[in-house]
Amino acid sequence: MRTSSTARVEDPTEPAQTDPLVDRLLALITDGELSPGQRVDQRAISERLNVSRTPLREALKALESEGILSHEPNRGYTVTKLTASDLLQYHSLRFHIEGELVASIEWPDEEQLKALKKANDWYRAAGDSAEIGQMARANREFHFLLMSWSPLNIMFNELKRIWRITDAYHTGAFSTPERRKRVVSEHDAIVRAIEARSRSRLIKHMTTHSERQKELLADFIGPGMPAWAAPAVLPKASRS
């Protein structure tokens, strides 16, 4: 069983070498303070985060290398605006990778399970107060804690990269009280399946959860989504 530090809830899922300034910039995007297509005002951000321009530029370059920011001469950095095709491809990749990870997770110990429940409680509390940024972080933590129990590290790291790139587009799942309650309910079902150590139930509930994300994506993009954009049914249970 993996013994990663999943007991704390302050987003332990990012690589240890992640620059804290990069995380702070990502939080601005997740919280909606920097929107897709918006220009990054380096002077304003420098003052807002109380950092000098040199480390800020390095953090911006790091986010550009991941595709989260784009850079144009004479305009500077902007938050990358994904096309409908980009979103469809990223979400299709996400669903396939999550399927492999879920099918291969090792059952958590008591502390790891407690951390997963705490992440869902965090989401529930943030949803009650409609704090979009907190909901996005709690939702990401719930998924990353769960996926971190898989030994497929390369796939897990790729999943985190995809989430970082598409984070700004995840807020649709939190836009109404009904959607927020549905996410909590689906997370609760996932937790119960893990408590029962039922891989078939876990895969079933994760598939349902993925289908909900497809619905949200269809709402965002509009009619005419290609068939290949549908999330694949997660792998059949092969381990007890």
- Asked if the structure places residue 14 within a domain, the reply is no
Who contacts 28 (Cβ-Cβ below 8 Å, separation ≥6)? 34, 45
Please give the structure tokens belonging to residue 171. 């807020």
Query: Is the Cβ–Cβ distance between 79 and 99 less than 8 Å?
Result: no
Widest pairwise Cα distance in the chain: 57
CATH code of the domain containing 223 = 1.20.120.530
Mean pLDDT lowest among 16-20, 160-164, 183-187, 227-231: 227-231
Number of domains present in the structure of the chain: 2
- Asked if the structure places residue 60 within a domain, the reply is yes
Q: Are residues 45 and 155 in the same domain?
A: no
Residue 171 has pLDDT above 70, yes or no: no
Question: Which of 58, 79, 100 is the last residue in one of the domains?
Answer: 79
Q: Are residues 121 and 151 in the same domain?
A: yes
91 vs 219: which has the higher pLDDT: 91
Q: What is the pLDDT of residues 91-113, one digit of tens each?
A: 889 989 999 999 999 999 999 99
How confident is the model over 170-188, as a mean pLDDT? 81
> In terms of DSSP H, where are the helices of the chain?
20-30, 42-49, 53-65, 84-104, 110-128, 132-147, 153-166, 177-195, 199-221
